[in-house]
Structure 1
Amino acid sequence: MILYIKHMVSLRCKYFVIKELKKLNINYVNIELGSVNIIGNISDYQKIKLISKLTKVGLIVIDNKNDILINKIKSLIINLIYRKDDVLKINYSDHISNKLGLNYTYLSNVFSRSTGQTIQQFIICNKIERVKELIKYNDLNFTEIAYKLHYNSLAHLSYQFKKHTGKTLSLYKTNNKIKTCNI
């Protein structure tokens, strides 16, 4: 049995779900961002308790086919954006279509109708958020960040970043440095 969970987009969410599954003695095969593959069936009591605990922290168990599909698309995108150092060999649309085994135009239409934004807009917004994180940690220069997030050039990244944040990369970096403790 697979449970699909909306808003499960980070490792912290994943660890929370694992903790709640263990508390309720629910066995699972694996857990991914957005889904949990549970061994066998769970009782109504376990399901209600799990849904209640997840809801309290903003995680929502979904069972609508379109919502499940949107959740899968979002999880695939987020996983691609947060990959370690792998270079993406194919474009996002081909990757999503191949992984889900469905036509990209169909996926795009379902996604747009349900979320009010295109898959491309979702990708860009999440890439910009990842850029912000990478800038704050100051481990990579702007060119390395552009390469890591599969931009064609630093100019393309700079354009998108300014369009979405209203700030240049340099200005954002200057204004958002992580404060460190000087002991």
Structure 2
Amino acid sequence: MVCNRCIMVVEEQMNKWALPISHIALGEVTTSASISPDLLETIRKELDMLGFELIDNKRLQTVERIKTAIIDLIYQKDLGQKLNLSTWLEKELHQDYAHLSAWFSEVEATTIEKFFIAQKIERVKELLQYDELTLSQIADQMHYSSVAYLSNQFKKVTGLSPSQFKQSTENTRMPLDAVKSYK
């Protein structure tokens, strides 16, 4: 789940199956109910039809928690001028960063840092499309050290400069759950 509407859809499904929700947030839902293997398979199939995946493997769950935490950081919170991503993730997920990084790279075939940059660039695209902020303001909001650094990173990831992206008629954005990393 990568947005509040996703949470609502999953919550509706949980209610449909009469499963009490102990906790629901982006990327996770917990129930106190026992779930039979048959119901679990039904849940898996119905969520799949809605575009969701039921993840019951600890490694995959951890990777999804990393992705959700990064998306939440970029879209919901202040990035902070001196954010150290590895330290922040260790505190957020209560696990050693080396362990998190190894699992993430194994599952996603990219690094956490590249995923973070790809998500930041996706947010920059969104802000460019809104056309409410200058590139300098966007760089400041996304805590880039300079407009030049943002522009260089943007071009490296997208192949376009920010101004070319704004002028492009095909300046489409990707769904957040489809953003993997840049090459």
TM-score bin, normalised by smaller chain:
0.7 to 0.9
C-alpha RMSD of matched pairs (Å)? 2.0
| In structure 2, C-alpha distance between the alignment counterparts of 1:145 and 1:29, rounded to whole Å | 38
TM-score normalised according to structure 2 size: 0.84
- 1:47-126 → structure 2 map (5 Å cutoff): 47-84=40-77, 86-88=78-80, 90-126=83-119
Listed one character per residue, the Cα deviations across residues 54-96 of structure 1 (whole Å, up to 9, x for unaligned) are 1112211111121111111111101001025x24263221110
Residues 136 and 176 of structure 1 are in contact (CA less than 8 Å); yes or no, is this contact kept in structure 2? no
- 1:1-183 → structure 2 map (5 Å cutoff): 8-84=1-77, 86-88=78-80, 90-176=83-169
Against the structure 1 CA distance between its residues 36 and 99, is the aligned structure 2 distance closer, same or farther, given a 3 Å change threshold? same
The runs of 5 or more residues in structure 2 that have no matched partner are: 172-183
Listed one character per residue, the Cα deviations across residues 29-63 of structure 1 (whole Å, up to 9, x for unaligned) are 33111100213323445433322211112211111
Against the structure 1 CA distance between its residues 87 and 127, is the aligned structure 2 distance closer, same or farther, given a 3 Å change threshold? closer
State the match for 1:181 in structure 2: none
Aligned letter for 1:94? Answer: T
Residues 136 and 177 of structure 1 are in contact (CA less than 8 Å); yes or no, is this contact kept in structure 2? no
Listed one character per residue, the Cα deviations across residues 81-117 of structure 1 (whole Å, up to 9, x for unaligned) are 1025x24263221110111222212211221122110
Residue correspondences, number: 170
Aligned letter for 1:111? Answer: F
* Percent of aligned pairs with the same amino acid: 39
TM-score normalised according to structure 1 size: 0.84
| In structure 2, C-alpha distance between the alignment counterparts of 1:113 and 1:150, rounded to whole Å | 29
Aligned letter for 1:17? Answer: V
Q: Which runs of 4+ in 1 moved over 6 A?
A: none
